Each structure stands twice: as C-alpha cells, then as structure tokens.
Amino acid sequence: MTPCILTVHAHPDDESSKGAATIARYHDAGVRTVLVCCTGGEEGEILNPLMDRPGVREQIAEIRRQELAAAAEIIGYDEVVSLGYRDSGMPGAPANAHPDCLAMAPLEEAVERLIAVIRRVRPQVIVGYPEDQSGYPHPDHLRAHELARRAFEATSEPLKLYYTLWPARRMRMIHEKLLELGMESPFGEDFLQRLERHREQRITTEIDTAGFDEVARKALLAHATQVDPNHPLWFSLPDDVRRSVEGTEYYQLASSRVGDPVGVERDFFEGILPFSPLERARAGVGTQQG
Ligand SMILES: [Zn+2]
C-alpha cells in the first residue's frame, strides 16, 4: 500500500496558505501527495502592485495555472488535478452567476468529478476545509468543503477526513510578536477573542513542520499575481521570529473509519499504518512503496 494524501483546495494559492508545510514534510517522507484544485482562480484580484501591468489581467487564467504548477513543485505535490470549474468570485459578485463557475455547477456533478479522482488515486487521507468559513465566506471555499465531505462519504478508499485549521493561538502569537517588535498587527483584539472562543477546541491533530516552514513562504511567493511580497501577515516578521511562531500546523479530524484517536494526533496515518511515515523519515528509514 502506498501511503497517499489528497487535498481539496478551492483556488490556486490556497494550497500554499493552508497546510503547505505539512504536505512538504509528508512528501519528503515518501508519502504520495495529490492536490485537487476546484477552480482556476480567474476572479482573483491582482494584489501585487508589481504584477498589475498590461496583459496580466487578460491572461489571468493561464498565468494562475503556471503559478499553481510552480507552487505545487515547491511544496512537493506529486500530482495536481484541476476539477475544471471557473472561480465563482467573492460573495455577491457578478461572477457568481457565470455558467461555468463552481457555485453554479450542480453539486452532484462536482462531487462525481472528485469521486473519480479519489477512485483513481486511492488516498487513505483526504484534507479539506471546515464547514465554518465565516472568517472568509467565499462561495468556492464553502463548495470545496462540501465536495470533500460528500466525496469522502461516497467512497470507501479514504479512511480519514481532515480539515485544515488556522488556529487562534497561531494568530495570537503572530499578533503579539508584531506588537513586541513595534509593528502593526493585522488582527484586532475582538477578532482574536472570537476565534479563541470558537476554533481552539476543534484541534485534534498537530503536525510538526519544523524545517519545512520556508516551503509555504516560497510557494506563496510563486503566486506572484496574488501575493504582495510586502504583505504584513506573511512577510513582515523577521525570519527567526517567524520560525518561532510557525513549526506546527493544525487540523481537525472530521471523520474516521479507523476509530477515534487517543490524545492529540501527531500523524495523519495513526490508525492506518502500523508505523508513522514521519517518524520513519526522521529516523532515516524509507517509507515502503508498492
Ligand atoms: Zn481561495
């Protein structure tokens, strides 16, 4: 059995901002990694002033495809699958009604497309988004959650479904470090407290990504149209400070066919494999392929 993780993301760049270091570590440990990207990101605004120049907007679909390929290579995805839908745009945007967009697609049809990928790839682990997208209610993120959940339920190959979390504790650490350095924080106190009340108790799984933090940063920068290299959240912390607040990525085990974990999980393959691919890699033993 080849250990395999399949992630379901809404747009190019989501794979870099959510769980990239985790995927990098698993890939490094010999686990097969597959990215399903639901849309082409055609509605993404050009957020990097350096990329806001003639010709970019006109060719945005092709440019974002290339950015995604570059980011996936940096992270260590073995395969990138496009589900083939158009970006639905932000809530209320005219793009919501485009006939090719994900929000307009019949849900069953979109689920079938994902099921076909799962049956071919046979991942033991699927990673998607939580149902709570209140912090960023993009129609494609809501859909991506729904697709992963339904496709997991409709197939028997995957044994565990995880949701990526951006926990309050991580934002709090970044917030406090920025203030400590006399810099401006993008997070308000109210926002942080609200997150702390709602999100922390969902964490079931913590993946140690020490040594792989640079991957996410580099992969994000590969999305040159979407990422301002001077963005305060991602790029303003000095490297050593950033390393001190990163180094762990957080997940919620949403559904398991191999029982409930005892205590905090440190590996997606707990209960699936008799060994931890991550521990094996750290001990210098190759993961069995075949
Ligand atoms: Zn997105």
Residue 210 lies in a domain: yes
What is the whole-number distance in angstroms between the Cα of residue 220 and the centre of ligand 1?
13
286 assigned to some structural domain: no
Range of the domain at 263: 4-167+203-281
Give distance in angstroms: CA of 100 to centre of ligand 1: 17
pLDDT exceeds cutoff 80 at 288: no
Evaluate whether residue 48 is within a structural domain: yes
How many helices (H) and strands (E) in the chain? 11, 7
- 196-209 burial, b at 16+ Cβ within 10 Å, e below that, comes to eeebeebbbbebbb
Last residue of a domain, one of 201, 223, 246: 201
Residue 149 alpha carbon to ligand 1 centre in Å = 17
- For residue 151, what pLDDT is reported? 98
Asked if residue 67 and residue 127 are part of one domain, the reply reads: yes
Q: Are residues 173 and 135 part of one domain?
A: no
**Number of domains into which the chain is organized:** 2
Can you give the CATH number for the domain in which 34 is found?
3.40.50.10320
- Give me the chain's average pLDDT, please: 90
In this prediction, residue 286 carries a pLDDT of: 60
Q: How far is the CA of 87 from the centre of ligand 1 (A)?
A: 9
DSSP state of 285: P
Q: What spacing in Å lies between the alpha carbon of 13 and ligand 1's midpoint? A: 7
Centre of ligand 1 to C-alpha 30, Å, is: 28
Q: Is the pLDDT of residue 245 over 80?
A: no
Query: Are the C-beta atoms of 32 and 4 separated by less than 8 Å?
Result: yes
**Residues 162 and 174 both lie in one domain:** no
Does the structure show a pLDDT above 80 at 60? yes
Same domain, 23 and 114: yes
158 with 216, same domain: the answer is yes
Q: What is the pLDDT of residues 96-122, one digit of tens each?
A: 999 999 999 999 999 999 999 999 999
- Residue 289, pLDDT above cutoff 60: no
Please check whether residues 67 and 121 belong to one and the same domain: yes
Inter-residue contact 162 to 254 (CB < 8 Å)? yes
The answer on 121 and 261 residing in a single domain is: yes
Same domain, 120 and 162: yes
C-alpha of residue 31 to centroid of ligand 1, in Å? 25
Secondary element (H or E) of residue 85:
strand 79-85
> In this structure, is residue 289 part of a structural domain?
no
Q: Which of 168, 137, 161 is nearest to 252 (CA)?
A: 161
Separation of CA 38 and ligand 1 centre (Å): 10
Residue 77: inside a domain:
yes
- On the CB side of 176, CA atoms within 13 Å amount to 8
The answer on 210 and 190 residing in a single domain is: no
Do 100 and 68 lie in a common domain? Answer: yes
Angle between helices 20-28 and 60-75 (to 10 degrees): 50
Ligand 1 midpoint to CA 14 (Å): 5
Asked if residue 288 belongs to a domain, the reply is: no
182 and 227 within one domain: no
Instruction: Calculate how far, in angstroms, residue 9's C-alpha sits from the geometric centre of ligand 1.
Output: 7
User: Could you tell me if 83 and 159 lie in one domain?
Assistant: yes
Mean pLDDT of 221-245: 77
For 139-166, what is each residue's pLDDT tens digit? 999 999 999 999 999 999 999 999 999 8
15 falls within a domain: yes
What pTM was estimated for this model as a whole?
A: 0.91
